[in-house]
Structure 1
Amino acid sequence: MSYTIGFVPKNQREGISATEAPTANQALAVIVALQERAEEIKFIRSPQEGEMGIEMLLLLAKEEAEEMPSKAVT
């Protein structure tokens, strides 16, 4: 499932920029990076779930991680 994150870049008063992430975990990483740069998150969307908040994205990332098979360490 892909995710679109809309944000307002620092020092920009108008307009929203957006970026894409292919997984919930990668979307969380993008959001953390944006927040570290003081970017304002405006929305998080996916085609399947629609618009959501960070809490929902955290839940989806947890479910995504549980669905992925564990890699055996050799």
Structure 2
Amino acid sequence: MDSMRADLIRGLETSLPTNFDREHFFALLVSGDVDGAEEYLSVFTTQDSNYYSNLMFYFVKRQRFFKFLVE
């Protein structure tokens, strides 16, 4: 699963016209700031922009759901 996410991030980075800081994005997700991660991602792309963007928004929303289940 981690290799799939790494491939997904690499694909997203290559498809975006600007520099996407994946360490910052992962730090937001790991710290539990799912809203911040989605906001950071939305600065660079939209959900329907391409396949990788769609998957990243899916993973962020899935993470939000898991966080909701734990709380």
User: Shorter-chain TM-score category?
Assistant: 0.3 to 0.5
Query: What is the TM-score normalised by the length of structure 2?
Result: 0.40
- Give TM-score, length-normalised by structure 1: 0.39
Structure with higher Rg: it is 1
- In terms of fraction of residues, the more strand-rich structure is 1
